[in-house]
Chains A and B, each alone.
Chain A
Amino acid sequence: MVAQPRIVVTGLGLVTPVATGRRQTWERLLAGADGISPVQSFSTEKFNVHLGAEVHDFAAADHLRNLDPTTLGRASQLAAAAARLALDDARIDPASLDPNRAGVALGTTSGEPLEVERFDDRLVADQLDRVGDEFIRLYPCHMIAAHVAAEVGFAGVNTMIPTACAAGNYAIAHASDALRWDRAEVMLAGGADSFSRITYTGFARLGAIAPELCQPFDRDRKGMIPGEGAAILVLETLERALARNATIYAEVAGYGLTCDAHHMTAAHPEGEGALRAMTAALNESGLHPDAVSYISAHGTGTPTNDRLESKAFRRLFGTRSKRTPTSSIKSMIGHTMGAASAIEAAVCALAVAENRVPPTMNFRQPDPDCDLDCIANEAREMPVEVAMNNAYAFGGNNASVIFRKCHP
């Protein structure tokens, strides 16, 4: 059998609640930044929680060079900006590529929820006559990948994968396969979501939003904090990256995608699907669990997620789960939904490249159910050969992706 091409990460574009841009975001995360603040995009007066992780001071016009940002939904704006940042970071001039061999694969949870919210505002106000053609033009979620591709001129594979909070990892898996299967030579892969009252209402109604702090793995953790953002990774084959003398952050060594087939919103009580996803990802990477240097956990900060994820870690690593450095950047940037695992994938790639790992902030009291080394409150310098990125979603979707130091 002919060896499959190896896939590497050569560019990172980030728009997050703590910063915009790869270097800025990374430094802020290592410094334990706090991207959580009172929600500004709508009134939380009728809610019993008030915090969110919004991206403030973002102007898409600062980044877009082709599309008029006022003609795009917010998630498209965040994603298109991340795409521009990623290509610049990779030192790729999109005009130099064969457009038919350049593609986009993006994940999202809600697509462009602000568009349906605007529709609903009119519906309840009995002003449906004020709905124009913008709803059908902007709302369908595939428009995010479409806007990104139109912004950068990529005419190849174009896939939108709305697999909720695991969507970024699903998109990275899809994009790396598109390269392995020779359907493209450069792929933009990642995820985006905008801050949404629908999402906020839903998690508030489930009692899942933390009132003050997002404290993944802490004994007193009280929930997650909804957020927004976008991250895009430039993926290409190792051969191509070497030929153009690109900076390689990490290699995408393997992935695992599974479904609990158990419950829409509750994870499997034994972490079954999560365990199968991690195992599949390690198997494809040809790695023993002991080889994992760092885990970017899903770690939402809800009592259940963190307990079950820890259980899955124990089942996979045995007693070594206590010693495998694991963090959740959601403590700093909240849960950015479809963007979350894409941002965390970028963190894994940077950890592998720089041998530094970001902390889990707000960690005070260990929880015996989450007996992990969760890199409490302070970033760490340590050798990172292999990083594992976990993401779990409504629908029972589980996705793990392994990033490894690239030894050409």
Chain B
Amino acid sequence: MKLYDIAHSRTGDKGNTSTISLIPYKEADFSLIKKYVTDEAVAKWFAPLGPIKVTRYEFFKVPALNFVIENALGGGVTHSLNIDRHGKSYSSALLEMEIPDK
């Protein structure tokens, strides 16, 4: 299944760093997400963006992950030639990732 089926997401930006949340609609799906959507998996998924570094952070009382992706915005909001300089649309790309359903 796709992450889109079980989770929602929003992207933010700081300089040349993209931050992407991943929030399951149901708490029961959080363990599956934690198992498969690792920092390595996200780094591999977004590898076409260039040499990026991904760090995964977890919230403890809200089932949610936050991915911090460095060097993902073509030089940053004020320098990038990208049409989407903020990388606002990256959340939609993350939700297209396929994961096993158990």
A and B from one complex? no
Q: Which residues on A are within 8 Å of B, measured CB to CB?
A: none
